[in-house]
A = this chain, B = another copy of it.
């Protein structure tokens, strides 16, 4: 692990990342020494910094450090964290924050290969996402809702859990975004009030456009899921997982999901 460029496994315990979750993170797939979709993840990180008024981290250092850490990895996960650093008085941030950069490389998770091919079993969580437009979309460090939602099940057969807001809109899953196919068109939830705007979600929206498939971002109610002919989950590590079962309801991984999977395999930027 690298903390502000130094090989180190421990962080100053006064860092605001710990005290308040005052920071952001990114999780990237690494292939043959290269962190995939680096520019996109970097841009989302910088957008998050802007939203939280955290000064931009040193982007050159971040890039050099990421490449250094991934250099000898053929298949791994790179995690970046940027916090507002230490200091300030209580919640009040210091006048000139010195952001902390933490980069770590982790083994590739052992997701079963059938997940991408045959689809996954998903449940609807009872944990609701709170509506907070000030934090929606960005990948900040306040993740207790996801921790609580993921703690709802232990059944190893269930790969993910869907989350709704208080108004019964479905938003995302604990670690992935959701798309639904209905009448041959793609839909994905609006994330103005809650949820993380994933990099893979953006890539699917873009890929749908290149394939000529209409894709709409809008609020989606839980009830609408029953109209879906296909459901899929996505993130930067899993790519696309079709949903083969949502609670009691069975689905079949469908043709649009396969087209998107094939199209995404062919480009990694």
Contacts and interface: CB of A to CB of B under 8 A. Distances in A.
Contact of A18 (B89, B141, B166): B141
6 closest residue pairs by CB, A with B? A21-B21, A130-B130, A10-B10, A142-B142, A130-B132, A20-B143
Interface of A: 1, 3, 8-22, 25, 52-53, 81, 83-84, 89-93, 102, 104, 109, 127-128, 130-132, 134-135, 140-151, 166, 174-175, 194
Given A18-B81, A91-B174, A144 B147 contact: no
Contacts of A128: 132, 134
A156 to B, nearest CB: 11
A18 B20 contact: no
Count copies of this chain in the complex.
Answer: 2
A22 B144 contact: yes
Nearest to A175: B90
Contact of A151 (B93, B132, B175): B93
Contact of A141 (B19, B25, B166): B19
A1 B12 CA distance: 11
Contact of A91 (B8, B135, B149): B149
A175 to B, nearest CB: 6
A64 to B, nearest CB: 19
A11 B81 CA distance: 15
Contacts of A25: 19
Contact of A11 (B18, B134, B135): B18
A250 B29 CA distance: 57
